[in-house]
Amino acid sequence: MGKVGEQLNIDFVVSTGDNFYEKGLASPHDLNFKDSFTNIYTANSLQKQWYSVLGNHDYRGNVQAQLSPILRKIDSRWLCLQSFILNTEIAEFFFIDTTPFVDEYFHNPKHPKFDWRGVIPRKRYLRQVLKDLKSALKESVAKWKIVIGHHPIKSNGHHGETKELIMQLLPILEENNVDMYINGMTIACNT
């Protein structure tokens, strides 16, 4: 990753969630932060700002830990918020937390422990997230509008499509001429 960052002369890094496997962080002082982030991404080219969204695995730990400003004091590159906007003049990046959209995590979770603090009541939270995104996209004058979330809207990967995002998020992206949606979740390995 460091070599690619150097070749492309990157300005920043985007992380699409599941930042700390398997169960997120236990606290802002969890050693997993240094072991899985600070001490891993050491290349000079990666000493840039990291903009991160949460993934479903992050909700299996203390989700507030990843959102904590304490992590920025430990490593100033780290920034993870539930939803936020990055304006780079030519492009605007809209980071959105997609995990709370997925019904399965609330009704039939394979892993019963999810930290939903800040998300409950869920319907109200999702309405506000979508309202804020819609408003920000309408106001954007960026040449490129790019939305980033953890879950795929449509995918040929083994997780497939996320029906909740097809129904709730995709119409907003289409209505506001979003140029690109970038997601994580789908794990592929090329050899």
Gap between the Cα atoms of 97 and 111, Å rounded: 19
Query: Is the previous residue joined to 22 through a cis bond, with omega within 30 degrees of 0?
Result: yes
- Torsion sign across C-alpha atoms 182, 16, 149, 74: negative
Tell me the CA end-to-end span of the chain in Å, nearest whole number.
15
For the residues 78-86, what does the mean pLDDT come to? 97
- 3-state SS class at 18: coil
User: What positions carry a catalytic annotation?
Assistant: 159
Q: Are 171 and 136 in contact (CB under 8 A)?
A: no
For the residues 138-163, what does the mean pLDDT come to? 94
Gap between the Cα atoms of 56 and 45, Å rounded: 28
Gap between the Cα atoms of 131 and 120, Å rounded: 17
The pLDDT-based confidence of 41 (bands split at 50, 70, 90) is very high
For the residues 98-115, what does the mean pLDDT come to? 88
For the residues 11-23, what does the mean pLDDT come to? 96
Overall pTM surpassing 0.85 (yes/no): yes
Query: Is the previous residue joined to 104 through a cis bond, with omega within 30 degrees of 0?
Result: no
Q: Which residues of 105-129 are buried (b: 16+ CB within 10 A; e: fewer)?
A: beeeeeeeebbeeebeeeeebbeeb
The full set of domain ranges for the chain reads: 2-183
Strand ranges, E, within 38-175: 49-52, 78-80, 84-87, 91-95, 144-149
The pLDDT-based confidence of 189 (bands split at 50, 70, 90) is low
- 3-state SS class at 93: strand
Instruction: Specify the fold of 2-183.
Output: Purple Acid Phosphatase; chain A, domain 2 (3.60.21)
Query: What are the tokens at 63?
Result: 């989700």
Gap between the Cα atoms of 115 and 104, Å rounded: 14
For the residues 28-47, what does the mean pLDDT come to? 98
